[in-house]
Each structure stands twice: as structure tokens, then as C-alpha cells.
A and B are shown apart, each in its own frame.
Chain A
Amino acid sequence: MNTFAARFDGSLGARLRDPRTLGLLGIACAIMACLVALPPLTGRSPLYPVLFGIPAAVLGLATALRGERRLGWGVLVAGLLGIALGVLATHSSTSNLNLVFTASLIASMFVFSTPLVFGAIAGTFSERSGVVNIGLEGMMLMGAFWGVYGADKGHSWVVGLIVAMAAGALLALVHAVFAIHLRADQIVGGTAVNFLALGITGYFFFQLYHGQNVPEGVSTIPDVRIPGLVHTHFFGPAFGKLNLMVWLSFALVIVSWLVLFKTSIGLRIRACGEHPRAADTVGISVYGVRYACVILSGALAALGGAYLSIGFGGGAFTDNMTAGRGFIALAAMIFGNWRPFGAFGAALLFGFSTALAYRLPAYSASAATLFQALPYVLTLIAVAGVIGRTTPPAADGKPYQKQ
């Protein structure tokens, strides 16, 4: 009898032989190779990381030989890196390890990754529709300033978020008009938008607050306390008291994946980014889709900026507050191969490396500084195609002209 169970078994077996599954298993092993040497496990023998790292490398090799070369070589490198880091950790003192690798490291990873997630998803929408958005930095900066301004004058962080999104969308509209209707070079336009945002926020910050700081007591985005979780051992400090925006960023990733890859709207967006002429032929308004995506991109990036000022910033603003986070978000989008979950993973990785860099001075101050450059080096390696190559949407950055 061709039962359900038999079919299930068959598909499970096929799934296990699937190179992608092997790759994911390898990544899990590589992460474990590192984790066994860290608290709370704190294995003190170099044998533990090697025990997990070798299977990771083997799985990576197997994945690569079965055709998924990009993933495979990545897993192989991750496995070797896992062994190296794990062995390194066994040489460090336990007290130092306990100081650096606490559950709150996870919470602080989310603090640093959230603005990047918003920025990277914003960039994904814009570039999937075929408009390069190098102005993410400027749109985030607009969100940071006008968010705190809205929260201050409107006495509510909700108003702040709305004002931030409007400001980001407005700046994105400028980018969209020049990129889509005037068919200007999109990289030049994005650069211009960054300068504009720097000037506008700096000018109005001084003008509206007379060179003073934003007064204290601005309404800020609240933390979400999960009553059942706060007092638990590990999950409490890690997940119990995260900012609302952190949870929103998780939701955003899932929603944007659904929209981009599971709905007809997403299909239209991607069609405009891959082959606008074909999209136009079947009756999709390429200009309309691109305008909508760029403006959405501005609003989302601005939310990431607002998180900096009225989320974890506690209601303060400083000139050029984003300090390059828009560019890391851009890097996360590229590193994640223009996909929501890829971008999310990259943002988490970059957020984690920043969070770790803030704690590494326990070992060495100068090493911690160099660690901050890691996201950029990783992105450079990713676009260089040392471990597979990233592929942007085919029509990304190419102005479209109706016929």
C-alpha cells in the first residue's frame, strides 16, 4: 500500500540527500563547534570544537560536490572558522568568557541589528523593483531626526514614527522622481540624497532646537516585557525585554518575504527588477511599481532611523546620527543576496559582530576596533565571489523607458 508514511519517508530521505539540507546541517555543526567552547557549555578541551567542526567541513564538501558550490564552500570555511574560534575560546580564561558571552549579548545583538534589518529590507524592496538605493543612509537619517521631532512635538512615539516615515518617504520620492522619470544615474542620485539628508537634518536640528539637545522626557518606543520569560535563566535576559521595534523587525522580515515571493504583488515587483520590458508588455505599470517600492523603501529605512533616536537612543539626536549604518544595511542586503531572510541573517551577523566588538576590549582594545571592520570585509569577500557570487536583480540600476 502506497501509504502516506511511505511517501513521507521517501521525501524525508530525498530531503536529507538534498545539498541545501546538507549545507544547513553543516552550518549548524559549525555554529556548535564555536558554541561548545562558550558559556553556558564552556567545554575546556580543544577536542569539542574539532568534534563538531570536522563534520561541518565534511558536510560543506559534500554540499559543494553536489552542485551547491556557493553554499558548500561557505559551509566548509564556516566549519574551519568554527574550529579556530572554538579552540581560541578554550585558551581564554573562563572569567573573561563569562564576562563577554552572556545571554544579554543576544539582546545587544538585536539592538544593533534592528536598524540594519529595517534598512536592508528597505533596500531589498527598492532594488528588487530595479532602483538602486544608495540613499538608505540619508533616509535613515531623516527618520532619526524627524522621528524624535515628531515624538517631541506630538508627545507620542506613534506620532514620531509616522512623521519619520513621512520624512523618509518624501526624501525617497525625490530619489524616485530623478531615478525613474528623469532617468538620472541612480548612484549619483542616491549620493545626492545622502548629502541632502545630512544638510536638512543638521540644519533643522540647529534651527528648531537652537543648538541645544532635544529636551529630555521625549516619548520613546516601549520595550515589550514578556511576563513568563523575563525571569527565566537564559531566555529572560536574551528575549524577555526587547524593544517593540525589534519584534516589528522580525515581523517585517516574514511579511516582506511573503509579499515578495508568495504574492502576485511580489511577482510584479520582481518582474520590474528583472525584465521591465516584459513586465510592461503584460500590463504592469513599471513606473508605478518602482515609485511605490522606492517610497516604501524610504519609509522603512526611516523606521530604522527612528529606532536609533527614539528607540534605543532614548529620545536624543546628534548630527549624522546614523554614522554609516545605512551603508552597513546596504552591505547586509547585498550579503543576503537581495532576499529578506538573507538580509536578516546578514544583519544579525553584522549586529552580532558590533555587539561583540563592544565587549572585546575585555581582551584587547585595538582588536575590538579592527573587529568593527568585519561587516565590510565580509561584504567585500562576498561581492568578490570568493565564496560564490551575489547576483543582483538583472535590471537593477537601469532606468526604464516606456515605448
Chain B
Amino acid sequence: MSVPPSEEPQVPVTPEQAAESGTVAGRIAMGQRAGGVIVPVLTALVAFLLGGFVVLATGHNPLLAYRDIFNGAGLNWIFHPTTSTVSNASYNLSQTLLQTTTLILTGLAVAFAFRCGMFNIGGQGQYFVGLYVANWIGISFPHMATLPHILLGIGGATAAGAIWAGIAGFLKATVGAHEVITTIMLNWIAIWIGTYFFGDGGPLQNPDNKAVPISGDVADNAKLPVFWGAKELQGLHVGFFVALAALVVFWALLNRTTLGYEVRAVGFNPEAAEYGGINVRKNLIRAMAISGAFAGLAGGLDMLGYLYHYGVSDIPVSSVGFLGIAVALLGRNTAVGTGLAALLFGALLFGTTHGLQSNVIAPDLAGNLTYMIQGLIVLFVGADLLILSVWNARRRVRTRTRAAEAAA
């Protein structure tokens, strides 16, 4: 007995249809349905494998290198859990979570725009303006009470990020300027504004020491409370919980509110959304502003949580905004995924640099290994078609086998 013709259309989405469906968000949503959690995990594994090959080819032992990075990130803490900061693992883990805090928020900044069909590549710039505003507010009111001061600082940073991204959203909605180009330009404008602010004679440069291009420290009553480790040693601050709360807010906003419904509808298909009575332009601006708010919040928390001051030389080194792209893509633009991906990249960020104590691989090599792994992950996750075709091939084989079994 032959397979009935109705068996073939059971495969829900062919890669061709997925590619035709238009927006990035639409395609990624397809990938999500097709791959679930397996695809991101496989992607990360393949990236680590390829990174391992590079390590092997240059004469280092990749397994030992990854073990040292694992320990450097403090992930070995789970074998000996303790809150004592004397323990190396405990300290390293607190530092990893400190990075995770930032990456959750910069990841959400990219993810939210993605769900509205836009690629916010400007997380770095939005993070910077948040950082600047928090620094300015933190320095400016030394006699303010603690709670209002912190709230004002974080609120200001969030608003600054929202406005900075909102410019890109506004330009997209009104004149159709591509958000990728405008956010890249806004990144660099933010970088040079920072260089001006903290540089020689700049308005935010520490007035007590005009010789170095570094800002002053934020006032003590603007600093966030630290709950793990010591304030002087960059302990983990309460912003960590704010980031976790942001994950919940992100999920609730997208899945449980009218705003989220509209944003997702525009992301899937702007024409259909417009036809259905949704104001596409308003949603583009709104989604971009919310996106930027997450990144601005990240900057605010970093400034009031552990950086306290910022210098011209810190600006080109920072890459948390760009890491947010990898975080969002690996996390499939979902709240849970973004949280887990942020943990992975937070661990890589700290475990390959300051936390790394290894005679197998030098921090300079390991730090660049992070960039390579990050690049590979983004490359593979972006190729949803590759994933889809593998997935569909599997589905097709499975359907045929089932049909054959039924026939037998």
C-alpha cells in the first residue's frame, strides 16, 4: 500500500515557506517551533566544539582549557556551595552573576525589538547613555536620601536608553530609515559623547583631578546595596534581582498585555497587523523605546551597582551591548532563554578573563576564544534555514516511517 498523498502536507512548514514569510521575527518564530530547546543547545555545543578545534590546533588542550574556564567562571561552586567570599569559586560565581545581570538586560533589549520585527544593534549605545545619565545623577545630588536617589538614577538611565532607541524607532516609523543603520550611528554618537563627557575638560570629568579623563564617583547614597560579597570588591548588588524581574516583565508584557500582542502582531506581519487595525508606526516606536529602556536600565544598574565611575579608556573596551545580540539570538528571544543564555555568556565573559587561572590557556587567548564562540553561535543561530531543513528532513523521515509502520 502506498503512502496516502495527504501525508506530505502534514510537515507544517517547509524551509521555503519559512524564508518567504518575510520578517526576521516571523522566521525566528518558525525556528522556535521547529527547534525548541534542542537547537540552541546544539548550536552552543557546535560553537564550543569548533572553538575547541582552534585551541587544539594551536597546541593547547581544549578539555583542560574549558575546565579552567568553567572554574574561572565559578561554576564549580555548585559542587561546594557556600556564601563565603573567601572561597575562590564563590567569589568567581558572584562576578559571573554580576556580568549576567548586565547581559540579561542587554539581551532583552535586542529580544524585544526582534519580537517586533526589528534588529536593535544599538544596545551598546543605549547602555552607554544609561551609564552616563546614572553617573550624572549619582554625582549631582550628594545629599539626597538613598532610596529616592537610587530610583531617580535608575529611572533616568532607563528613560535615557528609551529615548536613545526611540530616535531609531521614530526614524523607522516616520521616514522608514532602517533601524540597523540608525542604531549603529547612534552607537558611535553615544561613544563620542561619552569621550567628550569624561574627557579633558568634559562636563562629567572628576573636578578634583583634571589630569585623568575619568568621571567622579557616584555619591555613597546612590550606590546599590550589595548582598553577596563586599562593596569594595565588586560584590553582587541587588540589581541582579531587578534583572530577574525584568525577565518576568518582558514575558508578561509580551504575552499578557494588549501592547505585547500588538508588538508581536507587527513583528509577524506588519501589513496584516495594519489591516487588522493596529497602528504599526506607534508600535515600532514603542517597541524600540521599550527595547532601549532595558539597555539603559543595564547601564544604570552597572553604574550604581559596581562601576561607580567611568573613564574614556573604558568606553571602547565595553562590549556588553553587542553580547546582548548573541544572548537574545541564542535565547530565541524568549525570557527563559535569554536568562540562560545570559548566564552562559556571563560565565564566558568572566571565566575567560579576570577569573581565569590556568597554565593551559592564557587569558588573552581565552578572552578572544569567547569572541569566536560568540561569533559562531550568532552565525549558526542566524542560519535558521540550516536548522529548519535538518529538522524537516528528520520530520519527513519520521512521518514516512510512521506511515510505513501503519501500513505494515
Q: Which residues of A contact B (CB under 8 A)?
A: 134, 174, 178, 182-185, 187-189, 191-200, 202-204, 206-207, 211, 320, 323-324, 327-328, 330-331, 334, 364-366, 369-370, 372-373, 376-377, 379-380, 383-385, 389, 392, 399, 401
Instruction: State whether A192 touches B379 (Cβ < 8 A).
Output: yes
Instruction: State whether A203 touches B54 (Cβ < 8 A).
Output: yes
Instruction: State whether B364 touches A202 (Cβ < 8 A).
Output: yes
Tell yes or no: B369 within 8 A of A by CB: yes
- CA A399 to CA B19, docked complex, whole Å: 8
State the main secondary structure of chain B at its contact with A.
helix
Instruction: State whether B182 touches A383 (Cβ < 8 A).
Output: yes
Instruction: State whether B368 touches A196 (Cβ < 8 A).
Output: no
Nearest Cβ on chain A to B129's Cβ, whole angstroms: 13
- CA A206 to CA B55, docked complex, whole Å: 12
Partner of A320, one of B178, B196, B316: B316
Partner of B184, one of A197, A211, A330, A392: A330
Tell yes or no: B362 within 8 A of A by CB: yes
Instruction: State whether B199 touches A383 (Cβ < 8 A).
Output: no
Nearest Cβ on chain B to A21's Cβ, whole angstroms: 29
Tell yes or no: B246 within 8 A of A by CB: no
Task: List the 5 closest A-B pairs by CB distance, nearest first.
Answer: A199-B371, A199-B372, A195-B375, A196-B375, A188-B382
Instruction: State whether A383 touches B192 (Cβ < 8 A).
Output: no
Instruction: State whether A182 touches B325 (Cβ < 8 A).
Output: no
Q: How large is the interface on B (under 10, 10 to 19, 20 to 34, 35 or more residues)?
A: 35 or more
Q: Which residues of A contact B371 (CB under 8 A)?
A: 195-196, 198-199, 202
Residue-wise interface mask of B (368-384) relative to A, using a CB-CB cutoff of 8 A (1 in contact, 0 not): 11111111111101111
Partner of B365, one of A178, A185, A187, A203: A203
With contacts A380-B185, A389-B175 known, is A184 near B364, CB below 8 A? no
Nearest Cβ on chain A to B322's Cβ, whole angstroms: 7
Q: Which residues of A contact B196 (CB under 8 A)?
A: 366, 369-370
Instruction: State whether B382 touches A373 (Cβ < 8 A).
Output: no
Partner of A401, one of B19, B175, B379, B383: B19
Instruction: State whether B180 touches A376 (Cβ < 8 A).
Output: no
Instruction: State whether B188 touches A324 (Cβ < 8 A).
Output: yes
Instruction: State whether A372 touches B382 (Cβ < 8 A).
Output: no
Instruction: State whether A380 touches B378 (Cβ < 8 A).
Output: no
Tell yes or no: B285 within 8 A of A by CB: no
Residue-wise interface mask of B (298-330) relative to A, using a CB-CB cutoff of 8 A (1 in contact, 0 not): 000000000000000000100000100110010
Instruction: State whether B368 touches A211 (Cβ < 8 A).
Output: no
Of the candidates A204, A369, A372, the one having the most CB atoms from chain B within 10 angstroms of its own CB is A369
Tell yes or no: B24 within 8 A of A by CB: yes
The residue on A at minimum CB distance from B178 is: A383
The residue on A at minimum CB distance from B171 is: A384
Q: Which parts of B190-236 form the interface with A (CB within 8 Å)?
A: 191-193, 195-196, 199-202
Instruction: State whether B374 touches A380 (Cβ < 8 A).
Output: no
The residue on A at minimum CB distance from B193 is: A373
Instruction: State whether A373 touches B178 (Cβ < 8 A).
Output: no
Q: Which residues of B contact A377 (CB under 8 A)?
A: 185, 189
Instruction: State whether B375 touches A207 (Cβ < 8 A).
Output: no
- CA A254 to CA B325, docked complex, whole Å: 38
Instruction: State whether B192 touches A370 (Cβ < 8 A).
Output: yes
Instruction: State whether B362 touches A211 (Cβ < 8 A).
Output: yes
The residue on B at minimum CB distance from A324 is: B188
Instruction: State whether A327 touches B19 (Cβ < 8 A).
Output: no
Instruction: State whether A192 touches B376 (Cβ < 8 A).
Output: yes
With contacts A189-B379, A383-B182 known, is A184 near B175, CB below 8 A? no
With contacts A184-B384, A184-B385 known, is A192 near B378, CB below 8 A? yes
The residue on B at minimum CB distance from A371 is: B192
Tell yes or no: B58 within 8 A of A by CB: yes
Partner of A134, one of B177, B180, B383: B180
The residue on A at minimum CB distance from B366 is: A203
- CA A134 to CA B171, docked complex, whole Å: 20
Q: Which residues of A contact B382 (CB under 8 A)?
A: 178, 184-185, 188-189, 192
Residue-wise interface mask of B (7-30) relative to A, using a CB-CB cutoff of 8 A (1 in contact, 0 not): 000000000100100001001000
Q: Which parts of B330-372 form the interface with A (CB within 8 Å)?
A: 362, 364-365, 367-372
Instruction: State whether B195 touches A334 (Cβ < 8 A).
Output: no
Nearest Cβ on chain A to B403's Cβ, whole angstroms: 28
Nearest Cβ on chain A to B338's Cβ, whole angstroms: 16
Nearest Cβ on chain A to B44's Cβ, whole angstroms: 14
Instruction: State whether A327 touches B188 (Cβ < 8 A).
Output: yes
Q: Which parts of B367-408 form the interface with A (CB within 8 Å)?
A: 367-379, 381-386
Nearest Cβ on chain B to A17's Cβ, whole angstroms: 31
Instruction: State whether A206 touches B364 (Cβ < 8 A).
Output: yes
Q: Which residues of B contact A330 (CB under 8 A)?
A: 181, 184
Partner of A196, one of B193, B329, B376, B383: B376
Q: Which parts of B259-287 form the interface with A (CB within 8 Å)?
A: none
Instruction: State whether A199 touches B370 (Cβ < 8 A).
Output: yes
- CA A203 to CA B196, docked complex, whole Å: 32
- CA A385 to CA B177, docked complex, whole Å: 8
Q: Which residues of A contact B192 (CB under 8 A)?
A: 369-370, 372-373, 376
Instruction: State whether A199 touches B58 (Cβ < 8 A).
Output: no
Instruction: State whether B200 touches A365 (Cβ < 8 A).
Output: yes
Partner of B379, one of A174, A202, A203: A174
The residue on A at minimum CB distance from B186 is: A380
- CA A373 to CA B195, docked complex, whole Å: 10
With contacts A178-B383, A193-B375, A203-B365 known, is A384 near B175, CB below 8 A? yes
Could you jot down 20 A-B contacts, CB within 8 Å? A184-B385, A188-B329, A188-B382, A189-B383, A191-B121, A194-B375, A197-B375, A202-B371, A203-B369, A207-B58, A328-B188, A331-B181, A334-B181, A364-B201, A366-B200, A376-B189, A380-B186, A380-B189, A383-B178, A383-B181
Instruction: State whether B374 touches A199 (Cβ < 8 A).
Output: yes
